Chain A
Amino acid sequence: MNLMFRSRWWSFGFRSTIMLYFVVLIVLPIIGVYTHSFSLGWEPFWYSVSDPLAWKAVLLTIRLAVIATLINVFIGTMIAWVLIRYRFFGRRFLNSLVDLPFALPTAVGGLMILLLLGPNSWIGELSERLGFEIVFHEPAIVIAMLFVTFPFVIRAVQPLLEEMDQSEEEAAYTLGASKAKTFFQVIFPTILPGILSGAMLAFSRGLAEFGAVVLVAGNIPGKTLIASVYIFGEVESGNPQGAAAVSVLLLTFSFLILWTVNVIQSRRAGK
Chain B
Amino acid sequence: MKKLWISLTYLVFIVLLIIPLIRIFSGSWAEGWEGFVEALTRPQSLHALWMTTIIVVSVTLLNTIFGVMLALYLVRATWLGKRLKQLLNSLVDLPFAVSPVIGGLMIVLILGPNTIMGVFFEDIGFKVVYALPGMILATLFVTFPLMVREVMPVLQEIGTQQEEAASTLGAYSWYTFWKVTWPSIRWGVIYGVVLTVARSMGEFGAVLVVSGNIMNKTQTATTLVYQDVENFNVLAANSVALVLAAVSVGLLLLMEWAKKRKGH
Contact = CB atoms under 8 A, between A and B. Distances in A.
Interface stretch (A169-177, A185-193, A253-261): A253-261
Interface string B194-212: 0100110111110011000
B102 A22 contact: no
A6 B172 contact: yes
A36 B115 CA distance: 11
Tier of interface size on chain A: 35 or more
A26 B229 contact: no
Interface string A57-101: 000000000000000000100110111001010100010110111
B20 A75 contact: no
Interface string A219-261: 0000000011101100100001001100100110011011100
A251 B99 CA distance: 8
Given A18-B69, A115-B27, A228 B98 contact: no
B202 A244 contact: no
B229 A18 contact: no
Contacts of B222: 105-108, 211
A25 B105 contact: no
A215 B20 contact: no
B120 interface: no
A9 B112 CA distance: 35
A100 B27 contact: no
A25 B144 contact: yes
Nearest to A215: B229
Contact of A102 (B20, B95, B195): B195
Interface string A106-130: 1111111111100000000000000
B226 A112 contact: no
A48 interface: no
Nearest to B95: A26
A136 interface: no
Contact of B105 (A21, A211, A247, A258): A247
Given A97-B17, A232-B205, A86 B101 contact: no
A96 B256 contact: yes
Interface stretch (B32-40, B182-190, B243-251): B243-251
Interface centre among B23, B102, B209 (most CB of A within 10 A): B102
Given A27-B91, A96-B256, A105-B244, A228 B99 contact: yes
Given A210-B204, A257-B97, A15 B79 contact: yes
